[in-house]
């Protein structure tokens, strides 16, 4: 029986459900990357102390237990590289979110992580449709969705406020077909 807590994808990738003990390492990464992440994500300015990250982890774990979301720490060669999540899970559909520390970018880490996460939940039949929404000017995120076979669905105008500007979102969708066992 899959408990969806940890996925090891050799040789380098590991996805593990966030633990409270991950809070200091995740907080430090967010603090180091705050300015860069804040260009495309709304929440980094709200994370000011390790207690903020801990509160998020507790909230995320409670949501996971209720089947509402699933937030994973992405490790690459045992170092914490970033976060990959199903921000929402509704019936068999999940909305994907992600971020990586700068030193792990541009090496295909997130493409592999998203592919592994979709296969994990898709091949076991738990989920069958995935959504990615990203700012229209966020090239790496748009490229990632396109490269993984997501189809552009629509553009949501003024979908999110980041700092003092409104950002339009491209919304992509992928219907997952189970691989043969
Ligand atoms: C979006 C984000 C997670 C993408 O992560 P990533 O790991 O760099 O993305 P990918 O796995 O798709 O790889 C990126 C590049 O590496 C290349 N790549 C893929 N596999 C590779 C490999 N094995 N070796 C080297 N490079 C590789 C890809 O071709 C891609 O380049 P391209 O866009 O020119 O085609 C990252 O840029 C990020 O954290 N951005 C800031 C936060 C953010 O914007 N989050 C999303 C909000 S919607």
Q: What angle do CA 108, 114, 82 make, to 5 degrees?
A: 70
Which band of pLDDT confidence, cut at 50, 70 and 90, is reported for residue 1?
A: confident
pTM above 0.75, yes or no: yes
Closest CA to 101 of 25, 24, 6, 12: 25
CATH (one of 3.30.930.10, 3.40.630.30, 3.90.245.10, 1.20.120.80) for 6-175: 3.40.630.30
CA of 140 to the centre of ligand 1 (A): 6
Cα 66 to ligand 1 centre (Å): 31
Q: What is the pLDDT, as a whole number, of residue 26?
A: 98
pLDDT tens-digit map of 93-128: 999 999 999 999 999 999 999 999 999 999 999 999
pLDDT tens digits, one per residue of 61-80: 999 999 999 999 999 999 99
Residue 109 in contact with ligand 1 by CB distance below 6 A: yes
State the pLDDT confidence band at 143, using cuts at 50, 70 and 90: very high
Answer whether 176 contacts ligand 1 (Cβ < 6 A): no
What is the dihedral angle through the alpha carbons of 129, 133, 139, 144, rounded to the nearest 10 degrees?
A: -20
Angstrom CA distances, 148 to 57, 113, 119, 127, stand at 28, 11, 12, 16
Find, among 150, 72, 13, the residue nearest to 170 by Cα: 150
Pair 52, 46: CB distance under 8 Å = yes
Domains of the chain, by residue range, sit at 6-175
DSSP category for residue 177: -
pLDDT for res 172: 98
| Distance separating alpha carbons of residues 106 and 85, to the nearest angstrom | 19
In this structure, are strands 165-175 and 129-135 parallel, antiparallel, or unpaired?
A: antiparallel
């Amino acid at each position: 029986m899959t408990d969806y807590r940890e996925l090891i994808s050799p040789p380098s990738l590991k996805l593990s459900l966030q633990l409270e003990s991950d809070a200091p390492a995740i907080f430090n990464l967010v603090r180091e990357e705050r300015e860069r992440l804040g260009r495309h994500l709304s929440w980094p300015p709200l994370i000011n102390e390790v207690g903020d990250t801990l509160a998020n982890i507790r909230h995320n774990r409670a949501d996971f237990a209720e089947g509402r979301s699933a937030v994973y720490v992405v490790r690459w060669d045992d170092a914490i590289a970033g976060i990959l999540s199903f921000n929402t899970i509704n019936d068999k559909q999940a909305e994907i979110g992600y971020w990586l520390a700068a030193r792990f970018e541009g090496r295909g880490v997130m493409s592999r992580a998203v592919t592994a996460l979709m296969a994990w939940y898709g091949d076991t039949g738990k989920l069958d449709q995935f959504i990615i929404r990203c700012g229209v000017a966020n090239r790496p995120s748009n490229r990632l969705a396109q490269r993984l076979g997501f189809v552009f669905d629509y553009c949501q105008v003024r979908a999110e406020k980041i700092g003092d500007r409104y950002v339009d979102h491209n919304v992509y969708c992928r219907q997952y077909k189970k691989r043969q066992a």
